[in-house]
């Protein structure tokens, strides 16, 4: 059985306010559960698809920096 995870995640977060999105991210990180990673990945994908080249450079630099700590 195949489950379309991306559309389900998008349907679940569609229309969320900034505060709700932040709460979702904080909750996912604080729980430290593997099952939360796909949702964060979909949010990252949305961010990436709508980001300018400058924003993409900032995101990748911040992630690279965090990986060295």
Residue 9 CA, chain-centre distance (Å), reads 11
Check whether 1 has a pLDDT greater than 60: no
Question: CA–CA distance from 27 to each of 16, 33, 48 (Å)?
Answer: 15, 10, 21
What is the distance between the alpha carbons of residues 2 and 21, in angstroms, rounded to a whole number? 27
Give the residue from 57, 17, 14 showing the smallest Cα distance to 39.
Answer: 14
What is the distance between the alpha carbons of residues 52 and 29, in angstroms, rounded to a whole number? 25
> pLDDT tens digits, residue range 5-41?
999 999 999 999 999 999 999 999 999 999 999 999 9
């Amino acid at each position: 059985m195949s489950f379309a995870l991306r559309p389900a995640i998008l349907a679940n977060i569609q229309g969320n306010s900034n505060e709700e999105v932040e709460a979702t991210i904080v909750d996912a990180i604080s729980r430290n559960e593997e099952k939360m990673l796909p949702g964060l990945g979909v949010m990252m994908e949305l961010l990436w698809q709508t980001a300018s080249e400058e924003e993409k450079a900032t995101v990748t630099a911040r992630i690279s920096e965090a990986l060295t700590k």
